[in-house]
Amino acid sequence: MTRKQKQLSFLPEAKREKFQPPWEQARSLEELEQIVSDCRSCRLRDSCRQVVFGEGNSKAEIMLVGEGPGRAEDEIGRPFVGAAGELLDKIFSAAGLQRAEVFICNVVKCRPPGNRLPTPDEVRACLPYLRAQLRIIKPKIVISLGALASQTLIDPSVRITRDRGRWISKDGLLIMPTFHPAALLRDPKKKKPVWDDIQAVMRRYEQMKG
């Protein structure tokens, strides 16, 4: 629960809604996407082509979170469609997971210029939308792809090379931090650890399904 939500929690629901921002009131991903697509809360929207909300199963038990859209994602309006996305699809398929089973999105929904990392204020501006996606989808497992997503979802002290592959429980989420697929393209030695992490996710997912 955010500090704002705690402050409002003593009010009756009807009154509470009056003070809640629209993304906290959204009851479906479609409703939320409509709100996010009109967002101009940070400078990233000035230089990108479109907001990349994310896509996949609205009742996904596994959700993947990357850092931000790249060039191909910005052009097409879908997450993970460039070379890194193709690699992710191959990993899924080898693990027996269909892309349509999961939900994939990023911490920031607009492309940072030149594929730079989003700045802390851009992350802060966009984070309520990721929180709203998590609230609506209620995934059992979240895979945080790369340092920025892991630090945002878990803790700023996370070091991806040190902490990947270790389950973390945070805010009711079970999170598996691993390398971003773009890092595997730069350094193929990272493929094996990512494969191990996805295998650990699949084992936990199968146990949860019973």
Residue 87 one-letter amino acid: L
Beta strand 168-170 with 173-178: parallel, antiparallel or unpaired? antiparallel
What string marks each residue from 90 to 109 as x (binds ligand SF4 by CB under 6 A) or -? Answer: ------------------xx
| 50 touching ligand SF4, by CB under 6 A | no
Pick from 40, 90, 135, 186 the residue near ligand SF4 by CB under 6 A.
40
Question: What is the rounded distance in angstroms from the CA atom of residue 194 to the CA atom of residue 172?
Answer: 24
Question: What is the rounded distance in angstroms from the CA atom of residue 165 to the CA atom of residue 162?
Answer: 9
| 42 touching ligand SF4, by CB under 6 A | yes
Question: What is the rounded distance in angstroms from the CA atom of residue 134 to the CA atom of residue 65?
Answer: 10
Pick from 62, 65, 102, 126 the residue near ligand SF4 by CB under 6 A.
126
Pick from 44, 105, 175, 182 the residue near ligand SF4 by CB under 6 A.
44
Q: How far is the CB of 196 from ligand SF4 (least distance, A)?
A: 32
Question: What is the rounded distance in angstroms from the CA atom of residue 83 to the CA atom of residue 144?
Answer: 18
Q: Considering only the stretches 8-16, 38-46, 70-78, 176-184, report the one whose residues sit in contact with ligand SF4 under the rule CB under 6 A.
A: 38-46
| 36 touching ligand SF4, by CB under 6 A | yes
In sequence order, the 6+-apart residues with CB closer than 8 A to the CB of 141 are: 61, 62, 63, 174, 175, 176, 201, 204, 205, 208
Binding region for ligand SF4 (CB under 6 A):
36, 39-42, 44-45, 51, 108-110, 122, 125-126
